[in-house]
Structure 1
Amino acid sequence: MENCRKNCGNFLEGIEFRPMDVSEYPLLADFLYEAIFLPPGVTPPPRKVVEMPELQPYIADFGKDGDFCLCAVQGTQVIGAAWCRYLQGYGSVEDMPELAVSLLPSFRGKGIGTVLLEKFLESIKQRNLPGISLSVQKENPAHRLYERLGFEIVREQADTWVMVYHV
């Protein structure tokens, strides 16, 4: 966080980090779409890709017991979201909810995602969870952020790692 304070300039000014309101849960479909990592030169899939059965568990009927979302808000616009829920997803680890996180493209690379994740990790400590898991493509530079924040690789697949943060 100290590094971000020195390098983030004014990008954090006016940004609030708070639990997502129930009325904002429909935005998770957009954030799930934005969470899809695309290597340079790869054409983005159509937005309706989030309707695929393998992606729906990340957002369908969000708000059930155990679901939690922290968002980054600038003014009235939600610009980022970090959420977790118990599901059988790409990064599932037994007895842990799985994390998904993304920012709107114009807010990336400014330290906002780092602060969002740091605050999210602080929040889940209050929830008595053993930890959280995630899946990240090996090509995705975000894996370095996850490692910096204390996530560890627990499973390797062909092009992805499953990582865990122990609370």
Structure 2
Amino acid sequence: MDYTIRNIRETEYKILSDFLYEAIFIPKGVKAPPKDIINKPELQVYISDFGKHSGDYCLVAESDKKIVGAVWVRIMNDYGHVDNETPSFAISLFPEYRNHGIGTALMKSMIDLLKTEKYKQASLAVQKTNYAVNMYKNVGFEITDENEEEYIMICKL
């Protein structure tokens, strides 16, 4: 599958709403929540006023002139929050573009960008049953904490 990874354009920020919804892990056999779930404050923290804060970075994967995936980071008080100097990751792809290596490429590209920006580490939270746990480990994240449902993972940069 041909794709390119590039910085998101300010005019494209609105697409982060779609990718925020796609980032919600839905276990097999569980009905997907309604799309308006992303309006909850604990989810809006990922995209509200994106690009207006220091530490907001987003890369997108584009295939056939269509954005098919996004990885973005910001320093926020989210599920994976570690401290006020550690950006938290969010990533998702439209379903038909998953399992083609695009997510891994997006993650590696964002890690490289954060290194260039002199961050020391990055974090994320992921449900224990999410298939992406292994991909996060493969790109350098390690489990540093957990609760009943989620792992908190950190990547040293």
TM-score (norm 2): 0.96
Q: Percent identity?
A: 42
SS of match in other structure, 2:78? coil
SS of match in other structure, 2:151? strand
Question: What's the offset of the Cα at 1:75?
Answer: 2.6
Match of 1:4 in 2: none
1:115 pairs with 2:105 = yes
Match of 2:49 in 1: 61
Match of 2:153 in 1: 163
One-letter code aligned to 2:62: V
TM-score (norm 1): 0.91
SS of match in other structure, 1:161? strand
Question: What's the offset of the Cα at 1:76?
Answer: 2.1
**Counterpart mapping for 1:7-156 below 5 A:** 11=1, 13=2, 15-64=3-52, 65-94=54-83, 95-156=85-146
Structure 2: stretches of 5+ with no match in the other structure? none
* CA deviation profile, 1:82-106 (whole Å, cap 9, x unmatched): 0000100001011201100000111
Question: What's the offset of the Cα at 1:112?
Answer: 1.2
SS of match in other structure, 1:91? coil
SS of match in other structure, 2:13? helix
Give the superposed CA RMSD: 0.8
SS of match in other structure, 1:144? helix
* CA deviation profile, 1:125-147 (whole Å, cap 9, x unmatched): 11111111000000001000101
CA distance in 2, matches of 1:63, 1:17: 18
SS of match in other structure, 1:93? coil
SS of match in other structure, 1:54? helix
CA distance in 2, matches of 1:129, 1:44: 35
* CA deviation profile, 1:31-64 (whole Å, cap 9, x unmatched): 0100000110110001111000110110000002
Aligned residue pairs total 155
After TM superposition, the runs of 4+ consecutive aligned structure 1 residues lying more than 4 A away are none
SS of match in other structure, 2:153? strand
CA distance in 2, matches of 1:148, 1:66: 24
